[in-house]
Structure 1
Amino acid sequence: MVRWLYLSALADTPLAIVQAGLLAWLAAALLNGAPSLWLPAALLVLTLALRALAGAARARFSAGAGADISQAVRRDVAEALLRGAGGTLTAGEASTALLEQAGAVGRYHAGFAIQRRVASVATVLFLLAAFSVDWVVGLIFLCTAPLIPVFMMLVGSGAQRAADRQLDSLRFLGGYFLDRLRGVLTLRAFAREAAEQQAVDRVNVEYRKRTMKVLRIAFLTSAVLELFAALSVALVALYVGLHLLNLIAIGPGPGLDFATGLWLLLLAPEFYQPLRQLAAGYHDRAAAHAAAEALAPLLEERQSVSGSNAVSTTATALTLDQVSFAYPDSEDTLLSNCDLTVQAGTCLVLRGDSGTGKSTLLKLIAGLLAPDTGEVRHDGRPAPLLAQTTGNLAWAGQHPWFIHGTVADNLRLGAPDADDAALHQVLAECGLEHLPAGLDTRLDENGGGLSGGQGRRLALARALLSPAPLLLLDEPTAELDDALEQRIITALRARKGRRTLVIATHSPAFATLADQSLWLGPSAESMEGAAHG
């Protein structure tokens, strides 16, 4: 797509040279009273049609290339965010990265980057054409052409600073508005709707002002560059006019007739057109540069994660070595000196009363929490943070998160290549074969469209479908009847050996599945004793 975009953009240059020559030919023929004008007129119409087709092709390829590049950047950013990269980003900043910043990168590569290459080649072609006819006009082109890129670089620093400020304002506005939207019920409860609406309006006005500053710099830059181009064209017109009036003798002399002079005059605005287009797109470069600086740490983190953590294809062995943990706002140590080894392909069942640390232990194993003392190891290596697992574990919690889309879309998050048959099978294993619209059932991020129990089972189905060698399940059969609970236990038993299972549950029915059981709670003298018991 980019190659065709470059070729269609570059095709305008030779067509412009030919068009100027045909116009000069037709005008000279009219002036000299030529008996037949159909040949230059037909060739001129054909050239105009070809230029129009080249322009349409460029517009189409530019839109397609920009969309493809933006989509590729969005895919990389979304993958990085889903893997946990950029953990300090707010939801508003993440949405800005996905939408505005990725779009800016796409517009730059499909616009300014292509035009820069086109302008460099087009300038050489126009210079060759001018020097081949009149070295004075060629010299005028050669001396005046650098004024446009030089001035563009001089104002570039100011445009870049304005673009950086606008991007910072946009990132802040996205997060600010999203926070107010999420807290709308609280704002209404405390009668703060009008005050927050005014605050959002003030922030929005500030963003508009910053946007207008960027556009002001862009338009002023374009106006000054247009002035340079107009002065250069006027200089060519002055030289050609004086030469045709025989008022000057420099240049090609008698060889500069009316047709040649008109061709050179018509060539002048075409010569500066690629440079003007380059300058007009300079604000896209500034916006893309600001966006790239914001996206670079996120994408570099994604690449380092992808390169250093390959997905394991076999079950994972777990080791907890003297692990202790307490929440910062609690005086009690929730886990103390836990020693535990779980062999690959086996099942560990965590039991205990509510609040005794079952979910916390799952988070420690997953890397969502770091132990205060001790170490959690996966296959003998320190457990990576969840952001660095790259598919080595699957989590099904009590409050699952979904994406806006269908059931099939959510299931394929962990197994993108799974076919519909595999999706139907895992849904049946989890008792979800009778969903209202089957795989096409629509969901929101909180599982709206399903009941709470169906949402937890869908999260379980997503974990079972993924190829992750380590499954961490938090109350997978809560509030289910005995028959459905046994169906899920059967599905988990079928995965033992190929997967390592760690299950937090209150249900005694998992005793038949467990290779090891761990009781958490005050009945044990210490976590260490419970682990060894």
Structure 2
Amino acid sequence: MSIDPHQIDPATWLADQRRHAPRMLRRLLLTALADAPLAIVQAALLAWLAANLLAGRGGLWTPATLLLLALALRAVAGAARARYSAGVAADITRTVRERVADALLRGAGAALPPGEASTALLEQAQAVGRYHAGFAVQRRVASLATVLFLVAAFSVDWIVGLIFLCTAPLIPVFMMLVGTGAQRAADRQLDSLRFLGGYFLDRLRGVLTLRAFAREEAERRAVDTVNGEYRRHTMKVLRIAFLTSAVLELFAALSVALVALYVGLHLLKLVAFGPGPALTFGTGLWLLLLAPEFYQPLRQLAAGYHDRAAARAAAEVLAPLLAAGGQTGDGPVATAATAAMATDAGPPPALTLDALSFRFADDQPALFEQLSATLPAGGCLLLRGDSGTGKSTLLRLIAGLLAPQQGAVLHDGRPAPLLTEHTGRLAWAGQHPWFVHGTVAENLRLVAPEADDADLEAVLAECGLTALPAGLATPLDENGGGLSGGQGRRLALARALLSPAPLLLLDEPTAELDPASEARLVDALAARKGTRTLVIATHSPALAPLADHSLWLSAAPAPGEKEETTPRHWEAPAHD
């Protein structure tokens, strides 16, 4: 089902993200709610101990022991709340980041500059996690704790309860009054951060050009100017946050002072209205100790209000982005590292390209128009054509990383599974592979954790990688640093061949290989044919004997011509 990004309500989307950590959120809420009754008990025990001490009565050990126990329980609850809060923030942030990364891989963020995409992946996803770990939970805690404190106060002295009841709304009312300004400031800060990320990335990419034209100092000053603008927007957000906190602290302090004045005047017997004359020192002290605790949840809610503003600003960007990526949010998201991992990946799938049409943008020419092909399970499809005709793009469509404008890609007669659904079902070896920091062996064992050194060396030999600098212990970075470009592509191919994935998508696997190495690799692919379905984009005629079907792609087909498959040999396709 297609999702219109313009129909996504950011507030609804933001609230819906709490389902990514339901158990941790329940634990966080319980530990946060435990603080209110413990605060009431602590105030009562402290008042009891002080009253006995002032009256010179014995029996101090019992209230002292219970008070220490209450303090310990409150400390434990606070520590548990901090732990679960960090867990909720981490779980939701990680899930949102995985979904954003998945949407970006599908091309949903094609209109986003790289700087804005990185901001969405990092800062904005983190803002969503902070919101659910802080403000969203504290809002429920404040409402329930306020009711509990009011019940306790009214049960002893209705005048103090009335003071609490009349002053408590001042805090949320003031939060709503400043909410619009805080939201606008947060939006401006987010826009400034997104612009700064893209601006700085563009300068890094063009650093050689800037040096060639002696523009380093001018661009450094320009970056400082943009950074200063972001700093000013950040300070505006902080100014509103601190001003709000200061005013709310003032309201709370005045309310506590009002309670203290009422209790003190009655204990001195200077006034006699209300139930005050019945107040004892212990009861009055308990009410006085209760006053700051009553306002503490509301102050914490106000302190986290800027997290709400930041999360709402992030949701304005993330909700349409994820909707454009075709994500409903159901189910876990597979990362690129796990997309090829499985212990039992199943039989090889049959592939069908059904009237496939694709273009990157409405104002660009179509790469494919009504493209159709059928490949049986365990077969081999070769994609041939000049550079730029869309072979790599077609591989991404088959993998489910891109969505066609028309037509469909079918795996065993069903729509191509999304990246969130085909964990272990395919392995990809592209022209620009990515690796993890570690050794060659560690990168290969990402897809075959149980493989021994002999298995790894065998697949490396099939791919012509017998002369690595340190063998299986050769260190790598994300870009394959430590290997040449050709060795990096062959290592990615070895990783794909080692995986148990029943569908292999290979992009120019024989590029830059000498004839002997190319023949060895062709034999390795032939050995896997039948148990794997192979789709290979290539310029090399040496792979022609593997082909059950060859699909020819051209940049601009002549009128009346249609690309189709040619069985079992490498020749120009027939035309209608």
Q: CA deviation at 1:461?
A: 3.0
Q: Indicate the SS of the match to 1:450.
A: coil
Q: 2:164 is matched with which residue?
A: 141
| Contact map agreement 1:19 1:44 (CA 8 A) in 2 | yes
For 2:392 and 2:522, locate their aligned partners in 1 and report how far apart those are by CA, in whole Å.
19
Q: CA deviation at 1:78?
A: 2.3
For 1:104 and 1:37, locate their aligned partners in 2 and report how far apart those are by CA, in whole Å.
49
| Contact map agreement 1:240 1:265 (CA 8 A) in 2 | yes
Change over 3 Å in CA distance of 1:459–1:274 after alignment to 2: same
Q: Indicate the SS of the match to 1:303.
A: coil
For 1:23 and 1:501, locate their aligned partners in 2 and report how far apart those are by CA, in whole Å.
75
1:343-422 to 2 correspondence within 5 Å? Answer: 343-349=376-382, 356-357=386-387, 360-364=390-394, 366-367=396-397, 378=410, 395-397=428-430, 399-406=431-438, 407=440, 419-421=450-452
The reply on whether 1:303 has 2:333 as its aligned counterpart is no
Q: 1:532 is matched with which residue?
A: 574
1:512-527 to 2 correspondence within 5 Å? Answer: 512-516=545-549
Code of the aligned partner of 2:255 = S
The reply on whether 1:485 has 2:518 as its aligned counterpart is yes
For residues 346-377 of structure 1, what are the alpha-carbon distances to aligned partners after superposition, in whole Å with 9 as ceiling and x for unaligned? Answer: 3344567xxx35863453464499999x9786
For residues 455-492 of structure 1, what are the alpha-carbon distances to aligned partners after superposition, in whole Å with 9 as ceiling and x for unaligned? Answer: 11123234445676654434312232344323321221
Code of the aligned partner of 1:315 = P
| Contact map agreement 2:40 2:290 (CA 8 A) in 1 | yes
For 1:294 and 1:328, locate their aligned partners in 2 and report how far apart those are by CA, in whole Å.
22
State which of 329, 349, 353 in structure 2 corresponds to 1:315.
349
Moved more, 28-37 or 228-237: 28-37
The reply on whether 1:497 has 2:530 as its aligned counterpart is yes
CA RMSD of aligned residues (A): 4.2
Change over 3 Å in CA distance of 1:109–1:425 after alignment to 2: farther
Q: Indicate the SS of the match to 1:473.
A: strand
Code of the aligned partner of 1:501 = L
For residues 61-110 of structure 1, what are the alpha-carbon distances to aligned partners after superposition, in whole Å with 9 as ceiling and x for unaligned? Answer: 32233222222222222233233332222222222122211211111111
| Contact map agreement 1:351 1:358 (CA 8 A) in 2 | no
Change over 3 Å in CA distance of 1:499–1:298 after alignment to 2: farther
Q: 1:198 is matched with which residue?
A: 221
For 1:174 and 1:151, locate their aligned partners in 2 and report how far apart those are by CA, in whole Å.
34
| Contact map agreement 2:160 2:259 (CA 8 A) in 1 | yes
State which of 237, 242, 254 in structure 1 corresponds to 2:265.
242
Q: CA deviation at 1:225?
A: 0.8
For 1:8 and 1:335, locate their aligned partners in 2 and report how far apart those are by CA, in whole Å.
57
Q: 2:5 is matched with which residue?
A: none
Code of the aligned partner of 2:174 = F
For 1:210 and 1:31, locate their aligned partners in 2 and report how far apart those are by CA, in whole Å.
54
Change over 3 Å in CA distance of 1:181–1:267 after alignment to 2: same
| Contact map agreement 2:389 2:554 (CA 8 A) in 1 | no
Q: 1:212 is matched with which residue?
A: 235
Change over 3 Å in CA distance of 1:315–1:21 after alignment to 2: closer
The reply on whether 1:461 has 2:485 as its aligned counterpart is no
Q: 2:509 is matched with which residue?
A: 476
Code of the aligned partner of 1:67 = A
Change over 3 Å in CA distance of 1:283–1:376 after alignment to 2: closer
Q: CA deviation at 1:295?
A: 1.4
| Contact map agreement 1:404 1:442 (CA 8 A) in 2 | no
For 1:371 and 1:131, locate their aligned partners in 2 and report how far apart those are by CA, in whole Å.
65
| Contact map agreement 1:242 1:248 (CA 8 A) in 2 | yes
For 1:394 and 1:424, locate their aligned partners in 2 and report how far apart those are by CA, in whole Å.
19
Change over 3 Å in CA distance of 1:90–1:458 after alignment to 2: farther
Q: Indicate the SS of the match to 1:531.
A: coil
For 1:324 and 1:263, locate their aligned partners in 2 and report how far apart those are by CA, in whole Å.
72
Per the normalisation by structure 1, the TM-score is 0.83
Per the normalisation by structure 2, the TM-score is 0.77
Q: Indicate the SS of the match to 1:188.
A: helix
State which of 422, 443, 449 in structure 1 corresponds to 2:482.
449
Q: CA deviation at 1:206?
A: 0.5
Change over 3 Å in CA distance of 1:166–1:465 after alignment to 2: farther
Q: 5+ unaligned residues in a row in structure 1: which ranges?
A: none
Q: CA deviation at 1:440?
A: 6.2
Q: 2:103 is matched with which residue?
A: 80
The reply on whether 1:509 has 2:542 as its aligned counterpart is yes
Task: Count the aligned residue pairs.
Answer: 523
Q: 2:81 is matched with which residue?
A: 58
| Contact map agreement 1:324 1:337 (CA 8 A) in 2 | no
For 2:80 and 2:369, locate their aligned partners in 1 and report how far apart those are by CA, in whole Å.
68
Q: CA deviation at 1:383?
A: 9.4
Q: 1:108 is matched with which residue?
A: 131
1:36-185 to 2 correspondence within 5 Å? Answer: 37-185=60-208
Change over 3 Å in CA distance of 1:423–1:128 after alignment to 2: farther
Q: CA deviation at 1:412?
A: 7.6
The reply on whether 1:225 has 2:248 as its aligned counterpart is yes
Change over 3 Å in CA distance of 1:378–1:153 after alignment to 2: same
Q: CA deviation at 1:395?
A: 4.8
Q: 2:18 is matched with which residue?
A: none
Q: 5+ unaligned residues in a row in structure 2: which ranges?
A: 1-23, 335-344, 564-570
Matched-pair identity in %? 69
Q: Indicate the SS of the match to 2:534.
A: strand
Code of the aligned partner of 2:118 = S
| Contact map agreement 1:334 1:357 (CA 8 A) in 2 | no
Moved more, 216-225 or 240-249: 240-249
For 1:330 and 1:145, locate their aligned partners in 2 and report how far apart those are by CA, in whole Å.
59
Q: 1:281 is matched with which residue?
A: 304
| Contact map agreement 2:390 2:553 (CA 8 A) in 1 | no
For 2:533 and 2:464, locate their aligned partners in 1 and report how far apart those are by CA, in whole Å.
22
| Contact map agreement 1:305 1:388 (CA 8 A) in 2 | no
Q: Indicate the SS of the match to 2:156.
A: coil
Change over 3 Å in CA distance of 1:410–1:80 after alignment to 2: farther
